Amino acid sequence: MIQAPTQKRAVIYCRVSTDDQNCERQLHDLRAFAKRSKYKVVGIFQETASGAKSDRIERAKVLKLAQSREIEAILVTELTRWGRSTIDLLQTLEQLNKWNVSVIAQTGSQFDLSSAQGKMIAGMLSVLSQFERDLISERTKSGLRAAVARGTKLGRQPGQNPSDKYANKVLQHLTAGRPYRWIGRELQISPTTVMAIVKRNKKSKAKMRHLVAR
């Protein structure tokens, strides 16, 4: 007797970005897709969250099911419903691959990283992820350079360290050629504290020069 193939267990994941939207269309389409593709739907997860929002509670539940090997596939209408970014998409696909779980888009694209198609897609996503990281890094550096140009002080600011209240006097005495021990006695602080203040000042200046130069 030939045994019928076991249906793959899947969950449906739907997401909309704003409260004035709903998941009805996605849910309707994915139920029909699951039926056509012979998936056994064992759970439906819906949530409202913007594409960049990190605390997706329902998606986290799906990942827990995948990790515990309770499902083999996640059904979505399109990848943008699942991934917050290219980097996030690749990271979660790699996680799911370890658990032998695929993300299946309604378009028919199957993101199983153990397959030839999945490996090819992972390679392209990896390139896009690096490009996205570079863009974020460049924007951050550009913002820091602009902040420095406006006179904004970066890093730990005076007053955040208890000994910073002595910083101006320490640097003044140092400029005048006073030795660390003399400065310590004059200000009634230890030579180690004097050295720490000087070190922080040098590090802060070096950081600013580095950011402006890049």
d(CA 173, CA 65): 64
Superfamily of domain 8-115: Resolvase, N-terminal catalytic domain (3.40.50.1390)
**C-beta neighbour count of 208 within 10 angstroms:** 16
- Each residue of 30-79: pLDDT tens digit? 999 999 989 999 999 999 887 565 678 999 999 999 999 999 999 999 88
Yes or no: say if 197 and 182 are a contact pair by the CB < 8 Å rule.
no
Q: What is the mean pLDDT of residues 182-208?
A: 80
d(CA 83, CA 57): 14
- Each residue of 172-190: pLDDT tens digit? 888 888 888 888 888 888 8
Q: What is the DSSP string of 135-167?
A: HHHHHHHHHHHHHHHTTPPPSSPTTSSGGGGGH
Tell me which range, 59-73, 102-116, 170-184, 193-207, is most confidently predicted by mean pLDDT.
59-73
- Each residue of 11-32: pLDDT tens digit? 999 998 888 888 999 999 999 9
**Residues labelled catalytic:** 17
Q: pLDDT averaged over the chain? A: 78
The residue type found at 160 is Q
Q: Which of 20-29, 51-60, 86-95, 105-114 has the lowest mean pLDDT?
A: 105-114
Can you give the pLDDT at residue 96? 87
pTM value? 0.54
